[in-house]
Structures are given as structure tokens and as C-alpha cells.
Structure 1
Amino acid sequence: MNTPEAISASAVAALANRQLDWRHKAVPATANGTTHAEFLADKHTLADFQTPLLTLDARALEANADRLAAWCAERGVLLAPHGKTTMSPQLWDKQLSRGAWGITLANFAQLRVAREFGVQNLQLANSLTDPHAIQWVADQDSTIVSWVDSVGTVELIESTLAGTDSVLEVLVELGAHGGRTGARGVGAAMDVARAVAASEHLRLVGVSGYEGSLAHTADDAGLAAVRGYLADMRLLHEELLAAGLYGSGSVIITAGGSAYFDDVVTVLAPVISTGAETGGPSVDLMIRSGAYIIHDDGFYRGISPFSREGDAPFKAGMHGWARVVSQPEPGLAILDAGKRDLPFDEGLPEPQFIGPVLGGPMEPLVGAEITSVNDQHSFMTFDPETTTVRPGDVVRLGLSHPCTAFDKWTIIPVLASSEPGEAGNAGDQSVVDLIHTFF
């Protein structure tokens, strides 16, 4: 029997046949009507685009994908990247081709995108409470594992699937006070697990949780909150084992976004087991980091374990490009990129370089700051005594939080390198791919 593809290679390849037009704000007007493949064959460069613009760096994407895949393999940990970060089957393919177990998603609409592109192993990091979604998941010919955090959710799924022979695999989600979803405490989670074990249409296959909602820093207090929560996840797993509530010979324990995945492995790796030594189920540990493949120049740059360790940190794989549309008073420039174009929820864009044209030589932009953003504009302050800024100048911006960058673009050009040429160097950046997103 042939092993199913992790993702449909033909569906991903078919994106090259998509026609580019006015609906894709990143696409140059001169390329209207061409296909993705034709656009790349024409050897476009950054200079062919207009602003505002979001670009990706090919070298950073490859390095980041390789880095975490190797890190997980060395530790015997599964990776199911959170695909909601990019909603790009092309980037999911990069992750899956490097050995990822599957793709994690957040809601029903995202699951439908993944199945359209033939993703075989999926994790819904949420509870199924929409009857339409419950029935759809039950009808899929693929592995879709979801979460439950209350007896009420178990009862809802049971009633929705009554009269069918469907059985859904679920993880019991442990939460914490002040966190997001999840049963509040080990005792409450055990009650949910007992309800699953007694149900006709559910099978308990593990424990899930998300530590990222409990801390936003890597200081002692933040790390203590994360580690304490992870210890509770381990305790829950041990109690489930002792009570014999797992309904499968293979169990998954999963946590870990892009900020604390090292702590997840430190605390939870001892649960990994083949089952041979205990006579119980085999146990895998799975992290779900999603932002790592893109990384950033803001929140994740500061909090990523690799940044904190100072050992081969991830590389910023996305940048914004904006043009000065007004310089109305000394020390103030208005740029043509705003909330509709660039992320701002985890820190404002960071001015890095400036030059007279897009794709041309640029100089470091020292001391400049984005102080606020409107829907379509950014306010950049600078020292007029040391920096000259003119209407038409182009600014490269470092960005924070890829999760709220990608949703603003249906197509994102990938540059061979997003590093601007130095002053006096007329070199331009080549476009090597176009990334399609489906939000």
C-alpha cells in the first residue's frame, strides 16, 4: 500500500498556474494577467514592486526551517507547526518535508484549507463545538485530532454524532487560571477524561495545553509560570495513565509555541516512552511552534529560546517596505504603510534602512522610530540634524509578530535576500518565489 503524501504535491504545485491581477496588492500593475510561473520566469526584482510591500527572505526561511527540524530530531520530539501563522500550503510543505508530523490549525475554516491541499495529519488546537464542524471532521479520510476541555463539549459531540459509527480522537486540554481555554486544574481535566472514556464517539489519545498565554516575558516570573503549568500537564498525564483512561496504544502530549518550546521539552521530555518498559501506551511529546519559520525583528527576536541562549538564533524572515509620502514638518515623515499592511499588535515596525528607490542602495536609518500607525499610514520620527528624509524615499522596516503580518497579504514575494545593497552598490534583490496565503 502506498503511504499517503503528507501534503498534496500536485495541489501545491498548481499554485504556479494561478493568475495574478489587481486582487493581489503585492503584484506589480505591469504583471497583471500573468501567472505565478510566468512572473517568476520573467526574473523580477524588488525594484519592480510598489509600496507598501511585505517580503520574505528565502535564506532565512530555509535556515529557520532546518534549525528547528534538527533541534526536534536531536531530542526525539515531534513537531506539528501551527499553520495559522502563515496559512500558506507552500510553507507547510517546507515544514512537512523536513519531518513534521503534521500541521496544527485553530478553527474549522483553516482545517478546510488544509484538507483542500491534502494535508493528512492535522491537529485542531481547539474544541469542536460547531455541529457542522463536528460532522465534517467525522467525515474526513485523514487524521484530525482535536481538544476537549469540558464535560459539556464531550456531551455536545456525543449528541451531534448520535446514530453514527464515527469516533473522533481527542486530547484533554489543561488550562490555568488567567489563561485561555482548558480545564481549570488537574481535577477538572480528569473529569473531562472520564467523560471521554465513557463516551461512544470519542477516544482519548493524549493531553494538550498552551503555555504561551500564561506569560509574555522570559524573566524569572514568566518562566516560573510556564514551568509550573507544564509540571501540571505532566501530573495530569501520569494520573491518566494510572487510571487507565487513555483509549489508544499511542499517546501524544503536546504544548509549545515559538516562545517557550525549550521549557516544554525540558519539563515534559521524561514522559516520552515506547511503552515497552511500562506495558502501557507509547508516549510522544509534540511541540507546535509556528512563528519560528518566519521569526521577526520584535517579539520573537526577544523571547525565542535560541535568542535567549545566543546560540544560532532564528533569522528575521520578513520585512516591510514603505515610501515617504509626506515630510510635513522637521523630524516627521509619513509613510504609506499602516495597519492594513503591517503588524502592530506586538510592537510597532522598526525603521532599519532608507534609500531613494525600492531595490536600490540603502543606508542604515539610525535613531528613527515609528511612533504610531493609522489604517494606511505610519508616523516616523527622526533627527533632522543627522538624517535627511525626502518624499519618495523608501524605508525598510523590521516587523514584529508574523501571525498578524501574513493575514494582510494574499501573495508575498520571496527575495533571494532581503538585505539592501550598501550605498554605492546598485545591486537589486531577485524574486525567487511567490507565497500564497489563504486566510
Structure 2
Amino acid sequence: MTAMEVPEPRVDWRSKGFFLPAGERSASDYAREKPSLFGGGFTWPVLTLRQSAAEANIATMAAYCARHDLDFAPHAKTTMAPGLLAAQFAAGAWGMTVATPSQALVLRRLGVQRIQIANEVLDATALRWLAEESAEIYIQADSLAGVEAAARAGRIRVFAELGHPGGRTGVRTLDELEEVARAITEAESLEFAGVTAYEGQLPTEPEVDAFLDQLVAGVSRLRAAGLMPPGARVSAGGSAWFDRVVARLAALPRDLRLILRSGASVTHDDGFYAERTPFRRVPDEGPLTAALEIWAQVLSVPEKGLAIAGMGKRDAPFDEGLPVAWEVRRDGAKTDTGPIAVTKLNDHHTYLAADGLQPGDLIRFGISHPCTAFDKWRHIPVVDDDHRVVDVLQTYL
């Protein structure tokens, strides 16, 4: 288990959502004082993380992986927040997954010792750095060019990646998978780590199952060819289909270790993953709860049926669905104003179809797709169930 080095976040006038015209404050200050989110030290919009929900989600995924004897390497690119990554390690995470060498560098500087880069790496500068690092770092390859680039850099651990038609990276056939795996094995400077795949872009369960069955067939073929040694690893599992990964990859030999990479589970959401979470199919194994909320103020009610909130594309994710309005506060109290629908976002404005709102109302929004929420906020207040700020998360690009 990694003991991460988590720098204490400090906020000042540069920190969006916090209102500090002068001076700075530390996460310890907030933890000691526990100010109300509505007490004047914050301004709108502000993204918050509900502590109880995040802690429950981390515990749920840790228990799920333990029940199914999986190694968990959650995708750190979801949050790039050291506080949350440290909590996942404390719950038993095997390692962390990232998308780029830059993200791997951040995790190394935070003390993470086991990292999977879920991509082929071709940049010679990054490959030389990876080869020189003493940590356990893995990359992926889906081409002979990728294998050759890694081999030129030095000692590197490499997965052969299987993909599917229309998907992202990964070879498309088992012949190509064997060719890449053989090239990794025959390169003196490389260590063959196993096989990796990503099923998350497939839209239906039958398509996911067929692809995962192909992954099992590919692993079996590599074993028969003497290319998949005992103790090798198989890595798969986004946040939408990890139950199918567990079900279909149960056919793998027991001496192989399965690494699950589901990253969005740490905060879940009120949109994309709320609809697609595997715990809708296997409810006894869950649940996950949305932990991210954005509070924004109604700025204008310019015509009947239309209200404008001061939140936009620079604040809230919109690539996998629009935010949803859950609660209205007026004069410090929760208020029933009737139904509210988000219809579109500009850079700093949200259009609401609603009849009961007034200028100055505060609205609590849930978000869809946490990955593109975290990248908009460098500091995030962590709140308890009474909306008192008990910590501050810092995020890294």
C-alpha cells in the first residue's frame, strides 16, 4: 500500500468559489473552524464534495474488489486530487491508473509507487524518464512502433492492449495481439506485464460481453504460445461495465491477477454514471452515491418561465449531460419552488425552465461526468451533511 505525500492545500484570492480578498487559509483552518458554506466565506458558483458520500463510495468499491479478489487501480485522472487518491490507497487500492506521462509524474512526486499509464507512450523524453524511475510503472502498446519506442528507452513494463472496432487504442485482432505480445517478450529491455483492454465505450451488454470474451480468448492464446507467464496481469474495467468484467473474466486462470480501473466511482454523479452504474444491474453489491454538488445563485428572472443562474461551462461539466437542480435555498431555508429544468449553458450562465424562482435564490445542482468537473476547479470545499466545510481538496491537471 502506498503512503502518499499529500501537501496541505492553501487557498487565497486565486481560488474560485472561496472568497478571500486578502490573506490565505489552509485546509487545517477549515477543518478546525468548520464554517458554514452559507456563512459568507464562499461565493457562487462553488463546487463542493460531500464527505460522507465520497467515503461511502470508496468503502463500497474496496469491499467489492475484496469480495471478487480483484486488484484495484482506480483511474486517478478522474479527480487528480491527492486527498481522494490517498483515501483510496488507505482503503486498499493496489495502485493508480493515469492517462498521460504528465499525470504519472504528478503521482510520482506525491509518492505513488505503482502506476499504470492506460495508453501507449511514444514520446522519447517521457519514455526515458519512465525507464529511469525506480517505481513500478506500466505502459501499454498496441503496435510494433510502440514496442520499439519503449525498448529504445530502457527497462519498462509493458501491457499488450486489445481494442475493439470503432474504439480507441488497442489492436483489433488476436493475431495482432500475439504479435505485439511476442515483440514485448523478445525485447531484452522490456518486461511483459500482461494484457489490458477497455470496454467502457461499448454501448450494450452483449457487445461488452463479446469483447470481454475475446479478451479471455486472447489471454488463452498467449498462454498456449508460452507468452503469458503465471503471475501476469489482466487489466480492464471502466466505471460503467465493471460487473461484466468480473462476470466474463471469471473464466481466466486463477494464477492471473485482474486489475480493475474504475475511476468515476469515487464521486459517482447524478447523470451519466447514475444511469450506467453496474450497481443498477447488481444492486446487492452497491450502491454508489453522487458526492459532487455545485451551488449557484439565480441572477435574473427576465421573463415568465425563464431564470438565469450564475454557473456555466467554465464551472460545470456538460459533455455527458447537463446539470440537474435538486434544491433551492431562499433566505437561508430550503424552499419548494416547483420543477426546475436545465436547458442549456453558456460560459457563465445556466438557463432554467422554471416559474417559482427569484433573484438571489441559491440552487444545489448535481453534475454529470465527474472527470470534467474536477478539471475546472483547483480547490474544492469538502462539506459534511450540514454543509459545514471540514476540509479542502486540491486538484492537479
Q: Same fold (TM over 0.5)?
A: yes
2:353 to 381, 384, 398: 381
The offset of 1:42, in angstroms, is 2.8
2:31 to 35, 40, 50: 40
Structure 1 distance, partners of 2:334, 2:252, is 51
Structure 1 distance, partners of 2:336, 2:46, is 19
Does structure 1 residue 284 correspond to structure 2 residue 242?
A: no
Paired amino acid for 2:176? A
- Which residue is 2:306 aligned to? 332
8 Å Cα contact 2:50/2:384 also seen in 1: yes
- Which residue is 2:236 aligned to? 255
Q: Find the residue that maps to 1:322 and give its secondary structure.
A: strand
8 Å Cα contact 1:126/1:147 also seen in 2: yes
Paired amino acid for 1:288? R
User: What runs of 5+ residues in structure 1 fail to find an aligned partner?
Assistant: 216-221, 275-282, 418-427
2:329 to 350, 355, 373: 355
The offset of 1:365, in angstroms, is 5.2
Q: Find the residue that maps to 2:11 and give its secondary structure.
A: coil
Q: How does 1:102-113 map to 2 (within 5 A)?
A: 102-113=95-106
The offset of 1:43, in angstroms, is 2.3
Stretches (4+) displaced over 6 A: none
8 Å Cα contact 2:200/2:240 also seen in 1: yes
Could you give the per-residue CA deviations for residues 264-305 of structure 1, whole angstroms, max 9, x where no partner exists? 00000231423xxxxxxxx10111000001001111111101
- Which residue is 2:117 aligned to? 124
8 Å Cα contact 2:30/2:389 also seen in 1: no
Structure 1 distance, partners of 2:21, 2:138, is 45
Does structure 1 residue 54 correspond to structure 2 residue 56?
A: no
Q: How does 1:276-425 map to 2 (within 5 A)?
A: 283-311=256-284, 312-357=286-331, 360-364=332-336, 366-382=338-354, 384=355, 388-417=356-385
8 Å Cα contact 2:99/2:119 also seen in 1: yes
Paired amino acid for 2:245? V
Could you give the per-residue CA deviations for residues 375-408 of structure 1, whole angstroms, max 9, x where no partner exists? 11100011x2xxx211111111111110110000
Structure 2 distance, partners of 1:255, 1:365, is 45
The offset of 1:38, in angstroms, is 2.2
Aligned residues: 394
Q: Find the residue that maps to 1:71 and give its secondary structure.
A: helix
Structure 1 residues 308 and 32, CA gap change in structure 2 (3 angstroms): farther
Q: Find the residue that maps to 1:46 and give its secondary structure.
A: coil
User: What runs of 5+ residues in structure 2 fail to find an aligned partner?
Assistant: none
Could you give the per-residue CA deviations for residues 134-164 of structure 1, whole angstroms, max 9, x where no partner exists? 00111111000111001111122223x2xxx
Paired amino acid for 2:183? A
Paired amino acid for 1:434? V
Structure 2 distance, partners of 1:309, 1:242, is 34
Q: Find the residue that maps to 1:119 and give its secondary structure.
A: coil
The offset of 1:167, in angstroms, is 1.9
Structure 1 residues 345 and 411, CA gap change in structure 2 (3 angstroms): same
- Which residue is 1:425 aligned to? none
Instruction: Name the TM-score, length of structure 1 as normaliser.
Output: 0.87
The offset of 1:250, in angstroms, is 2.0
- Which residue is 2:209 aligned to? 227
- Which residue is 1:7 aligned to? 3
The offset of 1:309, in angstroms, is 3.2
8 Å Cα contact 2:144/2:180 also seen in 1: yes
Paired amino acid for 1:380? L
Instruction: Name the TM-score, length of structure 2 as normaliser.
Output: 0.96
Does structure 1 residue 22 correspond to structure 2 residue 13?
A: yes
Q: Find the residue that maps to 2:148 and give its secondary structure.
A: helix
1:141 to 126, 134, 138: 134
RMSD: 1.5
Q: Find the residue that maps to 1:184 and give its secondary structure.
A: coil
Structure 1 residues 250 and 309, CA gap change in structure 2 (3 angstroms): closer
Paired amino acid for 1:256? G
Structure 1 distance, partners of 2:168, 2:175, is 18
8 Å Cα contact 1:258/1:292 also seen in 2: yes
- Which residue is 2:165 aligned to? 177
Q: Percent identity?
A: 41
8 Å Cα contact 2:100/2:117 also seen in 1: yes
Paired amino acid for 2:194? G
8 Å Cα contact 1:353/1:365 also seen in 2: no
2:196 to 205, 208, 218: 208
The offset of 1:31, in angstroms, is 7.0
The offset of 1:29, in angstroms, is 2.0
